[in-house]
Structure 1
Amino acid sequence: MRLTIASGVAAFTAALLLYPLFEGGTWFWSSLGAVLAVVAAGLVSSRLSLPAWAATLLGVAATWIYLTASFAAEKAWAVFVPTKGSVVELGRLLGVGWTDIQRFAAPVPTTDGITLLTAGGVALIAIAVDLFAARLRRAALAGLPLLALATVPATILPDPISWPAFIIAALGFVGLLIADGRERVGHWGRAVLVRRTRIAAAPSANGPRASADTSGLRLSGKRIGFAAIVLAVLVPALLPAMEPVSFFQFGVGGSGTGGRGNSISIPNPIAHLKGQLDLPERQTVLTYANNDDKPRYLRIYALDTFDGQQFGMTQPKGSPDNRTDNGPLPPPPGLTGNPKINNVQTNIQISDEVDDLKFLPLPYPPREIRVDGDWRADVSSLMVFSTRDEAAGLEYDVATSEPEPTADLLETLDGNADAVDQRYLRLPENIDPEIKDLAGKETAGATSDYDAAVKLQQFFTKTGGFTYTLRTQGHGSSALRDFLLRDRAGYCEQFAASMAVLARLVGIPSRVVIGYTGGTKIGNRWEVSTSDSHSWPELYFEGVGWLPFEPTPAGVLGQGSARVPAYTQPAPTPTNSSSAPTPGATSSTATDDALDPAERQNPRALDREAQLNSGTLPEEESMPLIAKIGIGAGALLLVLLIPAGVRLITRNRRVRTLGWKVSQPSDELTARIVSGEGTVGRHPSVAAAWAELDDILYDYGMAREPSETPRALARRLTQQYEFDAASAAAVSAIASSVERVLFARDPGRIGPLKKDLRTVRQALAATVSRGRRVRAVLLPPSTLRGLRGVGERLLDGFDLLETIRLRRTAAQKGS
């Protein structure tokens, strides 16, 4: 029965790892009920001594009855008994749940179908664990179905499993192993409990511990289990992160963007954007080339909904009519024949190392795409995605019809909120009044929606005192308020989201776009890397459609790859250059105008985009590989020298006490002298000399025998290592001082032992090899013995739990 209960506990603690996948707690209670049903069936099977196959069938039947009562009670007979109608209802809910799982991205709502699937899956895992552990007596193999529960969130979610949930699940499995060990040893009768701790080994008032249980034989496994859990949590936390969670996973599948069937799960792009900007090294995402040889922003996601905390993306819809191989894509919303149109042909090559990329990076607005596979365009946003194919290693051609509006043209247009979906204007009702006042203040005096948009952009890039930094995080309502009204420091996500919110507050439709900036020119192609990840707002103007704006500070004091669109800048001085750059394209003139003089003259910073225009690679900002190897080797050396440092500190402390006098030894001093342990500053020189001699002998491989008296030790060392007269006299002086302190009523005056100890150490060092002497200095065994003792005492703390009893035994009651 113990194994059955332990199996249920292990299964349920492992199921706790699933909590990030769901909204609400319905799945938790349903899963708990399913596990309890399996445990009840297992207890009945153990009571009746049923064979393994019968116990498994009983567990399945109990699960079926529980699910019927929970999800199809109205179709069942007497609530619990399954009927044809309840079976049909459960089948329907299973189908609905499977469809919902395909349709939603984590965290999913706990609908009846999803809850049924979860509870049934956890019950099957509990049945498998009970089969392996309680029926087949293979508790170690029960870890395999438990591991299946852990792999679900690990493969779906981009974030790692939380350490509290991992510890709980690991303790559940360790408890199962301990219960199995106790059952196995219990078949041999009672065992004698032997422990090193004085508390546990002390005899009782009635004599030796005749009623010892089998716990002593489980101490090694228990210690290994607890130590493994601690190391599994602490070691990854102490190691430096080689690569943060990124927008795309390189070399690792399961970024969370994948989908199956006719739907696609939507990732949280904002949650991953900062990961790419924080990557220690640039990794190539794609390369592209176009017919006008100008870099362009490449859009991937368009976030259109704002819930007061962050921007989100409506589920994209791509009908068969909007497949890319059916010809031109749907027309760009709001774009008419008013502005000049620049037709561009672009060839894009996605890196093979990008996994699970279901959306195509594209310049906006795409007109036609030639690409292999089933790729479809969302009508409202022109995002191009696939539910079946991936973009890794894909090469495709895209034709764009890019508007080239002028400031004069945009002055005559407006947002025309009636011509666009209202979701691009929708804001929560609880927006901070101070933010509303800020939007009105910064756009005061604007003559048009375009003028208001330019004023908002200048507020972020020039007049507002904002600074660019990757140290800030968060995009909730409080983070938005802090960014706009107090800190005014953040990275592109905060700038883009904040400008989009302010634009909506003044009546301009807006959305947030996530993708990449233009990249670096290498040869005849532009290379886009993870460091080019970017977010920017798009504002809607009827007649031109969606136009990108750039509130993120650009240049050396901001995000170097960000570019302020030319149509938001004052008219440049006429030059011999060709036509004005397209929206989203880089422009050295626009950038120079966007930068303050102090930014352009900053001699310490590297303007990465200036190198873009010259067609050269930016200087490698990351630390050279040889320097990283050197730092790692130095850190490893320092860690290895920790025992040597501890030994040196201990020796110096003892040497400082070697000149002290001693009169009468205390009980603690006597114990330390006999055991050879170290001493603290208040103990006399004899204890220090004896402890140091004991460590020297241990370091040189001449450890003192526990039963060896000081005089016998001095005689053995003198004879075995053929000490000269001075060395023999020195070791005899130390041994005599120890005996006088231990046994003499009045030890009298004892002279300094510092010189004698040094003489003995030199004599001992001369008898061992050079390698042994080097090891004694750099990796002293005496210090390692002390560190090992500390670890053993920490683990022995768990042994005290064995002495705790919830009820007194019969012998204790009698006494």
Structure 2
Amino acid sequence: MRLSIAAAVATFCAAILLYPLFQGGFWFWGSLGAVLSVMCAGLVSGRLSLPAWAAALVSAGALWIYLTLAYASDKAWAWVVPTKGSVVELGKLLGTGWADIQRFAAPVPATEGIALLTAGGVGLIAIVVDLFAARLRRAALAGLPMLALATVPATILPDPISWPAFIIAALGFTGLLIADGRERIGHWGRAVLVRRTRVATSPVPGAERETADTRGLRLSGKRIGFAAIALAVLVPAALPAMEPVSFFTFGVGGRGPGKGNSISIPDPIAGLKGQLELPERRTVLSYTNSDDKPRYLRIYSLDTFDGEKFGMTEPKGAPDNKTENGPLPTPPGLSPATKVSNVTTRIQISEEIERLVFLPLPYPARQIRIDGDWRADVSTLMVFSTRDEAAGLGYDVLTTEPDVTSAQLDALPQARASASDPRYLKLPENLPSEIRDLALKETADAHTGYEAAVKLQEFFTKTGDFTYSLRTQGSGNSALKDFLLRSRAGYCEQFAASMALLARIVGIPSRVAIGYTGGTKVGDRWMVGTNDSHSWPELYFDGVGWLPFEPTPTGSLGQGSARVPAYTQPLPRSTSDSASPTPGATSTGDDSPLNPQNRENPRILDREATLADSGLPADDSMPLIGKLGIGAGVLLLILLIPAGIRVVTRSRRVRALSWKVSEPSDEVTAKVVAGSHPSVAAAWAELDDVLFDYGMARQPSETPRALARRLTERYEFDAESAASISAIASAVERALFARNVGELAPMRKDLRKVRQALAATVSRRRRVRAVLLPPSTLRRLRRMGERVLDGFDRLENIRLRRTAAQKGS
């Protein structure tokens, strides 16, 4: 019965580690009920002496009844007996809870499905722990399922497990091991080692009885347990922090800003139109860059189209892709042979921006210097945070932009489906055939993917007779069909989504970007306002990666600050024919990466060297080697604590006027000596520690004169050293036994001489150990720990004595 209770306590102590994953305490009471139900079932199984397999079934049944009562009582018979309806209800709640933990980031909200999933999981862990500990008598193995409870928060949360929660969990497991040890000792039978004690409950006053002395065994277990807990808490504090690898999925993986829920991703399209319709312009951000040219600043990348509108796949920000870790992932599709331009941009976000957890960035960003926990999605290079907001932030961005021309793009081969993620070519099954026919018609004369993209852009900006208007409904098959085939009036979102869709139809991977145009130059800064909100398509080309196109009409009749990229301007027919008249033809232009001269001496981009010379402001953060050095230094200081204590103790003793006995081996002798003459007591205590450090410990029954004779003869002291040890021994004997000690000569010189003589007789390794890890100090620290552990034994003895007294009465 004791083991079942200890197993339940240990399981719930380990379950406390889950607290950062949840909002509120709903999980606490549900998990507590599950553990208590399993404990009651274990107590019943132990009383009936059921086999292990039957005990596990009884515990599972008890857990099922509890979950039915707590979460599906209205569907059960008499609130507790499971029925078909209650089973279906529990199944639905489990499915809902699993979907919720995939959708929300920790700490998750208090939903019934999550509460059921948590209580059921903790209950199953409690069953396994009880099975190992109480039924199979493998208490050590019971720590494995408990470790699973610690693994979940450790791999999900960016913050380390709090040390109070860890200590509670460790103490629970230690208590389980102690309970298992006491159970085993109690079944040993007749004791071999005994101690004789006078017990008040003995039938004969003053009689002695034999009892098994198991204090040392219990104390050893406690020493190991408490020492392990102390090391587990203290040692990591001296080491550099390491980022956990997430094996579980909780939303994006982290704490959301403010509420700590799933990452705040508002509807980008609704927000875009809302900013464009504001009656007055409001400043969103400002920036400067190294080449003083305006650039689109992308916030969101929409990659999925469901037939109604473009949406965004939830970004994944691995710990390796934190902005503080250095360069971001390589831009997808960008070949090292492609010529790039390195530009440094300094961006300042307005304080008035709310709930912005994605950074406005020029594409493709390769390195960002910003405060906070910001991470990059590998496939899109969107940078987001689940803990911080961008309002008021200033940050530096280094971009490596492909420096391409129309001729180079026209010379590229058609993008292969395998070259990019298949989701960038995915089309809805219910796509109207008229839209598909329109895409094929407008690109019928195109010989390359690039030429098809240019023709689509021209269709929206020139040949298609489109107009810019905010008075439109935007999304859905009917609205899209009306925009492309009839009204041909809309704002940037319709233009971007329509061109991205038509590009997919003709085999060009595409996505929709939402952010801001380059803004307007005011003084030495580019100012970006709400009226600069914009959406544009990005098309993928092998070797170059993702490039923005501009199908939205620009100028006074369209998006005023939008700009058509130079590389999207169509080539003259003659140039186009000579460059690449058919798909797959190579360009003969000097700037083409396929030029023979460039093939012989291609420009291979050393990305790390380029980033190092890019002109970003100096990084004030400490490098990893510095953090490792600090961690090693702190660890070294901790290891040198015993040496420091030894130096302080020795210095205190050698000061003649303040010598005191710290803790010599022979306590009775030390008290007598200390009361007679403090200087003699200090000399004797220091000699005792020196002997212990050098492995020559004094025997408890050895007199000062016998000790002096043994050291002199065994280690062949010279005359001066022998006289010094004899002087110390004589002073100690006089302080102990003489009625009048009289005047004693200072013993500092004698003590130093004896220490030098003893050091000359031991190896260098022993001397180094005596300085760095003095055994005498470690002995003193060990005794302090034993006193603490003895306190727990005294509590147990008090309880046992009371029990014995009650039995006697």
Same structural fold, with TM-score higher than 0.5 when normalized by the shorter chain: yes
CA change 1:211–1:718 in 2 (3 A) is: closer
Which runs of structure 2 are paired with 1:483-632 in the superposition (5 Å)? 498-500=351-353, 512-515=356-359, 517=361, 527-529=366-368, 531=370, 552=392, 570=522, 615-623=614-622
CA shift digits 1:210-232 (9 cap, x unpaired) = 45674542211122112222222
Task: Please tell me whether the aligned partners of residues 517 and 534 of structure 1 are also in contact (alpha carbons under 8 angstroms).
Answer: no
Structure 1 residue 375, shift from structure 2 partner: 7.7
Counterpart residue number, 2:92:
92
One-letter code aligned to 1:114: I
3-state DSSP class of the match of 1:123? helix
Pairing partner for 1:252 from 245, 252, 271: 245
* 2:50 is the counterpart of 1:50: yes
Which runs of structure 2 are paired with 1:363-382 in the superposition (5 Å)? 363-364=297-298
Q: Distance in 2 between matches of 1:699 and 1:179?
A: 37
CA change 1:38–1:395 in 2 (3 A) is: same
Task: Please tell me whether the aligned partners of residues 672 and 678 of structure 1 are also in contact (alpha carbons under 8 angstroms).
Answer: no
Q: Distance in 2 between matches of 1:499 and 1:802?
A: 63
Which segment is superposed worse, 90-99 or 637-646? 637-646
Which runs of structure 2 are paired with 1:333-344 in the superposition (5 Å)? 335=276
Which runs of structure 2 are paired with 1:207-226 in the superposition (5 Å)? 210-211=210-211, 214-226=214-226
CA shift digits 1:426-470 (9 cap, x unpaired) = xxxxxxxxxxxxxxxxxxxxxxxxxxxxxxxxxxxxxxxxxxxxx
Structure 1 residue 310, shift from structure 2 partner: 9.2
Structure 1 residue 712, shift from structure 2 partner: 0.8
Q: Distance in 2 between matches of 1:527 and 1:216?
A: 62
Q: Is the radius of gyration larger for structure 1 or structure 2?
A: 2
Counterpart residue number, 2:135:
135
CA change 1:716–1:673 in 2 (3 A) is: farther
Which runs of structure 2 are paired with 1:635-784 in the superposition (5 Å)? 638-657=637-656, 672=667, 674=669, 684-784=678-778
* Larger RCO (alpha carbons 8 Å, 6+ apart): 2
* 2:160 is the counterpart of 1:165: no
One-letter code aligned to 1:62: A
Counterpart residue number, 2:71:
71
Task: Please tell me whether the aligned partners of residues 31 and 118 of structure 2 are also in contact (alpha carbons under 8 angstroms).
Answer: yes
3-state DSSP class of the match of 1:499? coil
Task: Please tell me whether the aligned partners of residues 332 and 365 of structure 1 are also in contact (alpha carbons under 8 angstroms).
Answer: no
Counterpart residue number, 1:791:
785
Which runs of structure 2 are paired with 1:254-293 in the superposition (5 Å)? 258=251, 268-270=255-257
Alignment length (residue pairs):
562
One-letter code aligned to 1:762: Q
Structure 1 residue 155, shift from structure 2 partner: 3.0
Q: TM-score, normalised by structure 2?
A: 0.58
CA shift digits 1:489-545 (9 cap, x unpaired) = xx98xx85x524xxxxxxxxx6534326559xxxxx75223537799xxxxxxxxxx
CA shift digits 1:293-346 (9 cap, x unpaired) = xxxxxxxxxxxxxxxx8998656679xxx9xxxxxx99865659x99xxxxxxx
Q: Distance in 2 between matches of 1:669 and 1:56?
A: 55
Q: Distance in 1 between matches of 2:261 and 2:120?
A: 35
Structure 1 residue 676, shift from structure 2 partner: 10
Task: Please tell me whether the aligned partners of residues 658 and 753 of structure 1 are also in contact (alpha carbons under 8 angstroms).
Answer: no
One-letter code aligned to 2:774: P
One-letter code aligned to 2:751: L
Task: Please tell me whether the aligned partners of residues 378 and 384 of structure 1 are also in contact (alpha carbons under 8 angstroms).
Answer: no
Task: Please tell me whether the aligned partners of residues 8 and 130 of structure 2 are also in contact (alpha carbons under 8 angstroms).
Answer: yes
CA change 1:691–1:565 in 2 (3 A) is: farther
CA shift digits 1:345-370 (9 cap, x unpaired) = xxxxxxxxxxxxxxxxx94377x97x
Counterpart residue number, 1:60:
60
Counterpart residue number, 1:9:
9
One-letter code aligned to 1:685: S
Counterpart residue number, 1:343:
none
Gaps of 5+ in 2: 201-205, 281-295, 322-327, 335-346, 375-388, 399-515, 535-609
One-letter code aligned to 1:135: R
CA change 1:679–1:777 in 2 (3 A) is: farther
CA change 1:707–1:86 in 2 (3 A) is: same
CA change 1:685–1:56 in 2 (3 A) is: same
CA change 1:698–1:24 in 2 (3 A) is: closer
Task: Please tell me whether the aligned partners of residues 515 and 533 of structure 1 are also in contact (alpha carbons under 8 angstroms).
Answer: no
3-state DSSP class of the match of 2:367? strand
* 2:18 is the counterpart of 1:38: no
Task: Please tell me whether the aligned partners of residues 18 and 153 of structure 1 are also in contact (alpha carbons under 8 angstroms).
Answer: yes
3-state DSSP class of the match of 1:364? strand
Structure 1 residue 649, shift from structure 2 partner: 2.9
CA change 1:806–1:770 in 2 (3 A) is: closer
3-state DSSP class of the match of 2:235? helix
CA shift digits 1:687-713 (9 cap, x unpaired) = 122122222222333222222111111
CA shift digits 1:278-301 (9 cap, x unpaired) = xxxxxxxxxxxxxxxxxxxxxxxx
Counterpart residue number, 1:181:
181
CA change 1:620–1:139 in 2 (3 A) is: same
Counterpart residue number, 2:590:
none
What fraction of aligned residue pairs are identical, expressed as a percent?
A: 59
CA change 1:213–1:37 in 2 (3 A) is: farther
3-state DSSP class of the match of 1:704? coil
Q: Distance in 1 between matches of 2:757 and 2:781?
A: 27
Counterpart residue number, 2:461:
none
CA shift digits 1:227-258 (9 cap, x unpaired) = 2222222333x325446xxxxx7x83369664
Q: Distance in 2 between matches of 1:759 and 1:630?
A: 40
Task: Please tell me whether the aligned partners of residues 6 and 176 of structure 2 are also in contact (alpha carbons under 8 angstroms).
Answer: yes
Q: Distance in 1 between matches of 2:29 and 2:190?
A: 40
CA change 1:143–1:514 in 2 (3 A) is: same
Structure 1 residue 736, shift from structure 2 partner: 1.7
Q: Distance in 1 between matches of 2:135 and 2:52?
A: 5
Which segment is superposed worse, 178-187 or 748-757? 748-757
Q: Distance in 2 between matches of 1:719 and 1:766?
A: 15
One-letter code aligned to 2:756: Q
Structure 1 residue 678, shift from structure 2 partner: 11
CA change 1:18–1:772 in 2 (3 A) is: closer
3-state DSSP class of the match of 1:107? coil
Q: Distance in 2 between matches of 1:626 and 1:45?
A: 57
Gaps of 5+ in 1: 196-200, 244-248, 259-264, 272-308, 323-328, 340-361, 399-490, 501-509, 520-524, 536-548, 586-610
Q: Distance in 2 between matches of 1:397 and 1:21?
A: 38
Counterpart residue number, 1:283:
none
Q: TM-score, normalised by structure 1?
A: 0.58
3-state DSSP class of the match of 1:528? strand
Q: Distance in 2 between matches of 1:531 and 1:741?
A: 71
Structure 1 residue 376, shift from structure 2 partner: 7.8
CA shift digits 1:191-220 (9 cap, x unpaired) = 58999xxxxx99667566745674542211
Pairing partner for 1:385 from 307, 313, 317: 313
Q: Distance in 1 between matches of 2:775 and 2:253?
A: 57
Counterpart residue number, 1:121:
121
One-letter code aligned to 2:753: T
Q: Distance in 1 between matches of 2:307 and 2:238?
A: 43
Structure 1 residue 182, shift from structure 2 partner: 1.0
CA change 1:87–1:806 in 2 (3 A) is: same
